Structure 1
């Protein structure tokens, strides 16, 4: 596919350009021009009056947990106490009637409807390997992992040190961290440092009990943190001190966690993050910071910044065209709803868009269907209503699926 997008508000996100042409050739961005370039021989999409940004990246999810309602009574002392409630809940029994494949498909469409083309599914490879290549979005495949650091962790991977060694410093090593208030959980950052695995490619999830020494170590070792405010507040009634992390120079990305405790989708997570931060009296997070968390910061944490996270020549053409509802571009990009998406592309291929971009969809060899997202007619890759029908048939009821805004 070869086409151009004209924009009078392009967020790269390092800069905002008020006259820009993004040229896409095949899977990549061929060029970003600082003027409007039109050529009758190359199809041109006019996105002037809209906002163009990098497609979003969800830095932490658990696709198998794509189900509602949330599980738990809240305000836990340790993640293991919540896990016990999860295993014994009626919600889990209900969820088990559906297939793993269908939950992966729902997670993918949840992502698409929130402007996400890339997601980190934190789970051992042997579990998600059968599904990742079959999904309509990009699921991170190059990573090593642990479940957590303390002795109460689940048996994921080959052990912390072996998993880190297998990363060779070139893949993200991803683990939950500080997800509790017992002594072992509070000691996890230091333990990672003692083991020699707190490094530039280390990605810590949650960090609800980080102290000043932990943050200093993370900054010193250039480790990243993924912030999941919805899940943190639901489970612990506290979340990471993001302004303090940012001030120390720690790279912070945003993630939803699973629907079992977290946000319905990444756009909802952004809105909630802003609500939580507005109640703090110890620092502010700018709209630009929020956009960075779901673009360049997330790409840096997941070590895909050479391919994704910004609108630059040579990178994959993952682009998001949004209705511009605020004068400030960064506010408009982070105060959005699923219905505000006008076009979403992954590697140049359209995944979701309004009928006005029908010509672009016609160039693709993919199958598309029509759905209504919050009352707005959209073209979407595949046939997502079929999975909705299968899931409702499996559970024997008209199950509400609020993470899918077309269901």
Structure 2
């Protein structure tokens, strides 16, 4: 089948609604970078029969600038994140770590963003001080903006102070903090401390939460707060993670990848691991990285394929069976295309006409051994050199005609 073609007939695909009902067949018009509400008479059509279209993933917790820093050698689990931070201090002296941190921060931030994009994540919550590089028009992913944050209760020397940062954050914007990242009494006491400071509210987004007890989860749900779950990082540093089921059922849980310094390679690997361990089902995991994350982070135009939403898309082959499993069970090189604002950013080579129709120069690359096309602004050799498994291939796909684009699917 010619998967991508400019055609006058109706193109076919399945747009996946993140609901218990799963996939549905419906037209998906794209106009001015957003999902449209109707089909235009004249449109450039993409034939996507035998495919599934998902909303771009939302990574609810990331440290973009440290994904190329070598991790601490694994040992006995730490009782809490503060013990891990203390152990990491000696790690800074290692040549590979020092060399990684000497790279320009702007480059490291772009690398973290590219890592996310390659795995279908189009929006990220970066939990660190803002940097001018994040405002670049061609930054690889969209970012959570206009939010408040503190780093952690037990590490006051980094980031804004807890009480003043919370007080300065509008009630309709999220306020992020690492909390209860441990298994000991120190971690278990942190929700009480946060509440005593007056910082537990409906816009509080608590990252990790491994030390939360059942009564603590009751309080989180009752307050309307939420938790961002980073299970791979938790297992690596602490030896275990939280039980996600009650928070998930209450709609108060989102998924994050943390960073490669302690966590999974990317959010797609994180999702696959959760399903493989049987902690949640495929549709539940998909929800944590789309509609739930968008709701918790107050991102109304993200995480869905509703009219008016950003046209951030992940396209995969329809393998039959459970629709959500077609995304949560695969690796990044299996993605057919990742789209931001209606424009492909990385895709299989047979999507070349889509790049050309939008006036985007596409550079041939290989991703984990598979041929792909990458939008030229992302193909900086210094950037590609930081990402294992991503290499530029010989030759280039030149700029082609401009055309209006509307992806139709049934």
Q: Give the TM-score taking structure 2 as reference length.
A: 0.86
Contact 1:179 1:185 in 2 (8 A): yes
2:303 alignment partner in structure 1 = 309
2:172 alignment partner in structure 1 = 170
Alpha-carbon distance change, 132 to 81 in structure 1, aligned in 2, over 3 angstroms = farther
CA distance in 2, matches of 1:290, 1:326: 18
Q: In the TM superposition, what whole-angstrom CA distance separates every residue of 1:205-227 from its partner, at most 9, and x where no partner exists?
A: 11111101110011001111111
- Does residue 135 of structure 1 match 2:139? yes
- Alignment map for 1:315-334 (pairs within 5 Å): 315-334=309-328
1:398 alignment partner in structure 2 = none
Q: Flag the structure with more relative contact order, 1 or 2, with Cα contacts below 8 A and sequence separation at least 6.
A: 2
Q: In the TM superposition, what whole-angstrom CA distance separates every residue of 1:264-287 from its partner, at most 9, and x where no partner exists?
A: 1111111222233x3xxxxx5221
1:256 alignment partner in structure 2 = 257
Contact 2:120 2:338 in 1 (8 A): yes
Alpha-carbon distance change, 97 to 160 in structure 1, aligned in 2, over 3 angstroms = closer
Q: Secondary structure at the match of 2:28?
A: strand
Q: Secondary structure at the match of 1:108?
A: helix
2:28 to 17, 22, 35: 22
Contact 1:177 1:189 in 2 (8 A): yes
Gap runs ≥5 in structure 2: 1-6, 393-410
CA drift at 1:178: 0.3
- Does residue 103 of structure 1 match 2:108? yes
Q: Secondary structure at the match of 2:102?
A: coil
CA drift at 1:406: 4.3
CA distance in 1, matches of 2:120, 2:12: 18
Q: Secondary structure at the match of 1:96?
A: helix
1:45 alignment partner in structure 2 = 46
CA distance in 1, matches of 2:360, 2:68: 27
Q: How many pairs does the alignment contain?
A: 379
CA drift at 1:78: 2.0
Q: Secondary structure at the match of 1:111?
A: helix
CA distance in 1, matches of 2:208, 2:355: 38
Contact 1:27 1:347 in 2 (8 A): yes
CA distance in 1, matches of 2:49, 2:171: 42
1:246 alignment partner in structure 2 = 248
- Does residue 216 of structure 1 match 2:221? no
CA drift at 1:357: 2.3
Deviates more, 1:318-327 or 1:49-58: 318-327
Contact 1:170 1:303 in 2 (8 A): yes
Contact 1:369 1:379 in 2 (8 A): yes
- Does residue 84 of structure 1 match 2:86? yes
Note the aligned Cα RMSD (angstroms). 2.4
Q: Secondary structure at the match of 1:197?
A: coil
2:125 alignment partner in structure 1 = 120
Alpha-carbon distance change, 6 to 148 in structure 1, aligned in 2, over 3 angstroms = farther
CA distance in 1, matches of 2:32, 2:159: 38
Q: In the TM superposition, what whole-angstrom CA distance separates every residue of 1:291-329 from its partner, at most 9, and x where no partner exists?
A: 00110111112110x111110001111111112234110
CA distance in 1, matches of 2:156, 2:214: 24
2:343 to 331, 349, 354: 349
Q: In the TM superposition, what whole-angstrom CA distance separates every residue of 1:145-186 from its partner, at most 9, and x where no partner exists?
A: 011123x444311x2222122221122100101012443421
CA distance in 1, matches of 2:119, 2:335: 8
Spell out structure 1 runs of 4+ moving beyond 6 A: none
Deviates more, 1:23-32 or 1:183-192: 183-192
Contact 1:8 1:18 in 2 (8 A): no
Q: In the TM superposition, what whole-angstrom CA distance separates every residue of 1:8-55 from its partner, at most 9, and x where no partner exists?
A: 4221212434422100000211127xxxx795x211111110111101
- Does residue 12 of structure 1 match 2:17? yes
CA distance in 2, matches of 1:212, 1:122: 26
Q: Secondary structure at the match of 2:125?
A: strand
